[in-house]
């Protein structure tokens, strides 16, 4: 019996406290033919040594019933570069992306593979559980509905219909996935099984530090005939308090807006109604406000610098470009107020938000 190989790509950066948990979950998989690629992206803690430990401990050869662990050490060029490096070394029939601080349930890979074979689809997706440092666990249907590149959700507060969640899987066309799931928060590459052949030479956009998942996923889904989603929660997503969205504002935070421009461009080649629809416009408005709010935490004297004045001008321009009545209706009352205030009086918004956060 020919058992297909699943390549699991795991980017690692300073995650020595989580690697063993991640790798233990892979060792426990009921699907045993695995090629696990650990990409140590210039870690400065003990992550590199732990990766090497796993590489020597669990290397049973490419023809074994278990598989192999390959370790690649490289400089810190970001998660997109690490995933691209993993793709260039992938020899499996299928690809699964797993972050180094997350883990998966024992039957996650076998269930996704069986579902893909059963339905004949090009992408199989499962639900997830958000795991917090204090031990709290929140299912994806109770939490934010998805996240943008592992950070704060943009599509979470956008209202709209999504495929019914039952005990059974839901099959949908690629367009339905874009409309019903991707634009409503299911914008991450983890928790999904991809076909290596269909990925082809597709790469993650290295110029994006936020939203690179969403752009890659959309580029892939555009090549799919059908997508299947199961509510089975096979992925355990660790809500890292030191994640990208919790860090101080840097220039790269503007990628949160840039990625939605990329998505709009890609959708325009697929379906103009999606590219110009209220859901996408509402997501952009939220991305603008999330970016502006992070910037508002900077010192007020810093915000007077020409660079930040230009950033604010760009963000206000995006509101003007994307805002319309239908998009505003998609937002909750709080976001509608934020958008209006920032559009008309950005300085006042930044000052009020800064004071509000400092009081907490």
15 and 139 in a single domain? The answer is: yes
What SS3 class is residue 233?
Answer: strand
248 Cβ contact list (under 8 Å, min separation 6): 294, 297, 298
Phi and psi for 309 in degrees, rounded to 5?
Answer: -60, -40
pLDDT of residue 110: 97
24 and 92 in a single domain? The answer is: yes
179 and 258 in a single domain? The answer is: no
239 and 252 in a single domain? The answer is: no
307 and 330 in a single domain? The answer is: yes
333, burial (CB in 10 Å: exposed 0-12, middle 13-18, buried 19+): exposed
Structural domain count, the chain: 2
SS3 content of the chain, % helix, strand, coil (to 5): 45, 15, 35
178 and 265 in a single domain? The answer is: no
pLDDT of residue 241: 75
Q: Is residue 1 part of a domain?
A: no
Q: Is residue 318 part of a domain?
A: yes
239 and 322 in a single domain? The answer is: no
**Contact status, residue 158 vs residue 184, Cβ threshold 8 Å:** yes
The residue out of 210, 243, 276 marking a domain boundary is 243
Q: Is residue 173 part of a domain?
A: yes
The tokens describing 145, both together, are 């509905």
CB atoms under 10 Å from CB of 106, counted, come to: 15
Q: Is residue 183 part of a domain?
A: yes
The residue out of 190, 216, 243 marking a domain boundary is 243
- Report the distance separating Cα 13 and Cα 243, nearest Å: 12
272 and 185 in a single domain? The answer is: no
The torsion angle over the Cα atoms of residues 63, 66, 71 and 72, rounded to 10 degrees, is 60
Q: Is residue 197 part of a domain?
A: yes
Tens of pLDDT, residue by residue, the chain (360 residues) = 688 999 999 999 999 999 999 999 999 999 999 999 999 999 999 999 999 999 987 765 444 555 799 999 999 999 999 999 999 999 999 999 999 999 999 999 999 999 999 999 999 999 999 999 988 999 887 544 333 333 344 444 344 443 333 468 999 999 999 999 999 999 999 999 999 999 999 999 999 999 999 999 999 999 999 999 999 999 999 997 765 555 679 999 999 999 999 999 999 998 999 999 999 999 999 999 999 999 999 998 999 999 999 999 999 999 999 999 999 999 999 999 999 999 999 999 999 999 998 876
Q: Is residue 86 part of a domain?
A: yes
204 and 104 in a single domain? The answer is: yes
**Contact status, residue 304 vs residue 324, Cβ threshold 8 Å:** no
The residue segments making up the domain with residue 335 are 248-359
The residue out of 243, 258, 282 marking a domain boundary is 243
29 and 165 in a single domain? The answer is: yes
182 and 310 in a single domain? The answer is: no
295 and 339 in a single domain? The answer is: yes
Q: Is residue 80 part of a domain?
A: yes
């Amino acid at each position: 019996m020919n058992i297909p190989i699943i390549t699991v790509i795991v980017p690692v950066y300073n995650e020595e406290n989580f690697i063993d948990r991640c790798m233990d979950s892979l060792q426990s998989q009921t699907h045993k033919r695995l090629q696990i690629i650990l990409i140590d992206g210039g870690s400065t803690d003990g992550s590199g040594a732990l990766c090497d430990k796993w590489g020597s401990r669990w290397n049973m050869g490419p023809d074994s019933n278990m598989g192999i662990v390959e370790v690649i050490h490289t400089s810190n060029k970001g998660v997109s570069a690490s995933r691209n490096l993993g793709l260039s070394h992938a020899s499996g029939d299928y690809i699964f992306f797993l972050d180094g601080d997350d883990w998966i349930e024992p039957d996650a890979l076998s269930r996704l593979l069986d579902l893909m074979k059963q339905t004949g689809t090009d992408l199989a997706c499962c639900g997830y559980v958000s795991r917090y440092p204090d031990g709290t666990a929140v299912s994806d249907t109770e939490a934010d509905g998805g996240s943008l590149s592992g950070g704060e959700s943009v599509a979470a507060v956008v209202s709209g219909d999504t495929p019914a969640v039952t005990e059974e899987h839901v099959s949908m066309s690629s367009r339905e996935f874009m409309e019903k799931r991707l634009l409503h928060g299911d914008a991450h590459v983890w928790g999904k099984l991809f076909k290596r052949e269909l990925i082809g030479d597709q790469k993650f956009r290295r110029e994006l530090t936020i939203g690179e998942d969403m752009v890659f996923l959309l580029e892939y889904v555009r090549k799919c005939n059908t997508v299947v989603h199961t509510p089975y929660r096979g992925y355990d997503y660790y809500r890292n308090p030191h994640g990208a969205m919790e860090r101080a504002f840097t220039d790269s935070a503007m990628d949160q807006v840039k990625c939605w421009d990329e998505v709009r461009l890609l959708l325009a080649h697929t379906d103009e109604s999606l590219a110009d629809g209220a859901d996408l416009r509402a997501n952009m408005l939220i991305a603008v406000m999330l970016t502006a709010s992070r910037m508002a935490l900077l010192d007020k004297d810093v915000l007077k610098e020409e660079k930040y004045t230009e950033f604010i001008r760009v963000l206000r321009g995006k509101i003007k470009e994307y805002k319309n009545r239908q998009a505003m209706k998609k937002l909750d009352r709080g976001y509608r107020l934020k958008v209006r205030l920032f559009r008309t009086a950005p300085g006042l918004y930044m000052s009020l938000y800064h004071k509000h956060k400092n009081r907490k």
